[in-house]
Structure 1
């Protein structure tokens, strides 16, 4: 074919190719779809992937910002001296570290690849048996020791058993008997703490705090971990962390772990360490879902105990946020921490939990005489309806409008909280406040 005839032919082919292109670019995968795709590709149960993600981050990628332990994304792929899951994921998937740390779908895929590799190493044959994944999940945690690994993995299995409904991702509750294997002989942490009755003693690495004090204790500092409870404990036990706190508190139930004796100087507020006691709270500053009533009450009881023992005034001049301390650049506990409620609890009051302007979604929302599905229906709200509620009342699991939880809302009117009146709408969809 002559060159002059070839050019029109090529142009015609090019025109056909262009018209064959889709008019719109493909939609990015949803987070729920990312979990399903990764589970299928690497033969990792979706419940395991979601359970690990929820334990680590409540399914929030925090805009690609790292955790305290330099972990990224909803799966907390990490890059530190003991946890190298981020680089492992890159090697296994061929995806660049930047993509794994910033893109949710890639992050989930990378974690699935790592879990798959660990399952192969463990010679896990029946991958459909959720209970058999215990050792694999424990390895994924890269915990500092076996008791902390068990703490982490037991929490993942608690989440699997309860089910997840967050960020558009849902798993159904699963009745699973964990096969702890070698971890069955690892006693759960339970040694009494040295200063606070009821706390668990699990000491930080001696490389992460200073023995003794150079100043009298006069201030209690409230922190947020920017990571999970077990992950934070493990990080403080890592000699290279160069950071610690006296106490760490779990979100779900307010469990307290003491890691540094109060007589010693934890490294948590730079130049202000000598005269302070640090309390870390599991969670992230931009996620109010971590700040449960159980955590508030447990932390307040601890703070009250420290203040009473040490003669520290129970006021905001002596109980401070990390962000309020001199020579510090942190923002925790952030705007979602309810200082008014917390200080009321610290001072021994029994205030009602925080009040939120709550809008029911959909119609036919039931108002019951108790936080139980078996309780009598007092009335039905037509919806959408704006009411005031008291949050964090637990009852039977409620599923409605695609959402499931067992946190009920106690109604209030202009005169105060009403007796035995509860609403079973499980999702208020209010940004910036905990779900009720």
Structure 2
């Protein structure tokens, strides 16, 4: 089916975004919008209306958004690459999606950066324009969007572009259920076009195998403009970072000569894949004045969003850290394995309060602390976590639901009724590293097979 040039209809979401455009355009770049409208926070509606306005499949929009941000706008704060919002609209020397979105929608940068509905609409407009340029006429064929999505990433090179786009298609294939947005799993065969001839990032060669210090890593060199060859001090400290962005996006940023930043390793959230970008003998730029004696390990995700910190990531990262420490004689303790926020002369907050240091350090030291006994997903919204299996116990936190959690045992407590089910078995969660201990889910699941009693 052919497509004609499109003028966006003034939907309820677009009208809400446009209404505040004039006032927001005067805000300083670090200001947050005052009271967001309900429309601007209703992600499901935002995706639906942006998809309809620009004839971009909803699965594509959600897939890109989830790959970039897990559908979290992070209160308008930028990624390390200068990207904003759920859809990571960017303005840097390699990625012009923010300026393109401004031109295509007529909305100011402040609105596109800080209003979720506008941000999604802007990304849809950019994807639509790329689809036009690619002469993509069959918009409903998800497999045909591959090269359009790859272009949206503005990756530093073709292998990184394929890494990014393959991840989006993996998400489309698995479906999404997060932040009130749901897409059904779709079996899609991606039409990679020119990318079919691009070797996936991680394809090992004798040269790449020889380049890595950690045997399980993929070698993908950072730009030589982003690190210093050699060292001026002995290596004595390993620094834990969080990327404030996606895995593929971080790799691409470290390959951008203008970034002026790098790390030795980057680790993926979903499966713990490890990419090495700077040789350990060289000085990556990750902790300002403390670079000469440190090795930096970046972890995909955002400080304020614990969903990125998977068990696969923890275990993979701990294996890297243990290997480095053993090879270099670095003590495996918190005096020598530190967070970015703990380093002198630095103003960053990563890895933040959601990083489970107790669990991580036990893994680094070769233990298998609190192994997941049973992994299940809560349902509904506002699932409460209490300090004891009693409805009168204090509420420690609330899980947004559906949320994947690790249960170590179960205990009988107060009966809980929800969605027509009543049960008095409470699931005890794995220790979260000292900041949440002896906690139970206020959740009416039956006693789960194989889960021991406390």
Q: When the two structures are superposed, what TM-score results if normalisation uses the length of structure 1?
A: 0.79
Alignment partner, residue 47 of structure 1? 59
| Aligned residue among 355, 364, 382 for 1:337 | 355
The yes-or-no answer on 1:81 pairing with 2:109 is: no
| Aligned residue among 212, 215, 223 for 1:197 | 215
Alignment partner, residue 8 of structure 1? none
CA deviation after TM superposition for structure 1 residue 387, in Å: 2.1
CA deviation after TM superposition for structure 1 residue 73, in Å: 0.4
| Aligned residue among 329, 337, 348 for 2:366 | 348
Q: Is the 8 A contact 1:390 1:411 kept in 2?
A: no
Q: Is the 8 A contact 2:127 2:149 kept in 1?
A: yes
Helix, strand or coil: the match of 1:66? coil
The yes-or-no answer on 1:255 pairing with 2:267 is: no
Alignment partner, residue 386 of structure 1? 426
Looking at structure 2, the residues matched to 246 and 359 of structure 1 have their Cα atoms a distance apart, in angstroms, of 35
Alignment partner, residue 27 of structure 2? none
Equivalent runs, 1:125-144 vs 2, <5 Å: 125-144=137-156
The yes-or-no answer on 1:279 pairing with 2:319 is: no
The change in CA–CA distance for 1:53 and 1:383 in structure 2 (over 3 A counts) is farther
Looking at structure 2, the residues matched to 313 and 106 of structure 1 have their Cα atoms a distance apart, in angstroms, of 49
Looking at structure 1, the residues matched to 37 and 285 of structure 2 have their Cα atoms a distance apart, in angstroms, of 48
What is the root-mean-square deviation in Å for CA atoms of aligned residues?
2.6
Looking at structure 1, the residues matched to 218 and 37 of structure 2 have their Cα atoms a distance apart, in angstroms, of 51
Equivalent runs, 1:179-258 vs 2, <5 Å: 179-189=191-201, 190-191=203-204, 192=209, 193-258=211-276
Unaligned ranges ≥5, structure 1: 1-24, 363-370, 372-378, 393-407, 415-436
Looking at structure 2, the residues matched to 391 and 168 of structure 1 have their Cα atoms a distance apart, in angstroms, of 27
CA deviation after TM superposition for structure 1 residue 194, in Å: 1.8
| 1:158-197 superposed Cα distances (whole Å, 9 cap, x missing partner) | 0000000111000000000000000000001223352111
The yes-or-no answer on 1:122 pairing with 2:134 is: yes
The change in CA–CA distance for 1:27 and 1:104 in structure 2 (over 3 A counts) is closer
Looking at structure 2, the residues matched to 355 and 271 of structure 1 have their Cα atoms a distance apart, in angstroms, of 43
CA deviation after TM superposition for structure 1 residue 350, in Å: 1.2
| 1:40-79 superposed Cα distances (whole Å, 9 cap, x missing partner) | 0100000000000000000000000000001000000001
| 1:221-252 superposed Cα distances (whole Å, 9 cap, x missing partner) | 00000000000000000000000000000000
CA deviation after TM superposition for structure 1 residue 351, in Å: 1.4
Q: Is the 8 A contact 1:199 1:255 kept in 2?
A: yes
The yes-or-no answer on 1:321 pairing with 2:321 is: no
Looking at structure 2, the residues matched to 126 and 360 of structure 1 have their Cα atoms a distance apart, in angstroms, of 38
Looking at structure 2, the residues matched to 108 and 359 of structure 1 have their Cα atoms a distance apart, in angstroms, of 28
| 1:89-127 superposed Cα distances (whole Å, 9 cap, x missing partner) | 000000111100000000000000000000000011111
| 1:296-328 superposed Cα distances (whole Å, 9 cap, x missing partner) | 000000000000000000000000000000000
Q: Is the 8 A contact 2:75 2:114 kept in 1?
A: yes
Looking at structure 1, the residues matched to 162 and 140 of structure 2 have their Cα atoms a distance apart, in angstroms, of 21
The change in CA–CA distance for 1:216 and 1:101 in structure 2 (over 3 A counts) is same
Q: When the two structures are superposed, what TM-score results if normalisation uses the length of structure 2?
A: 0.76
Q: Is the 8 A contact 1:391 1:409 kept in 2?
A: no
Q: Is the 8 A contact 2:57 2:140 kept in 1?
A: yes
Alignment partner, residue 185 of structure 2? 173
Looking at structure 2, the residues matched to 330 and 179 of structure 1 have their Cα atoms a distance apart, in angstroms, of 41
Larger radius of gyration: 1
| 1:233-291 superposed Cα distances (whole Å, 9 cap, x missing partner) | 00000000000000000000000000000000000000000000000000000000000
Helix, strand or coil: the match of 1:95? coil
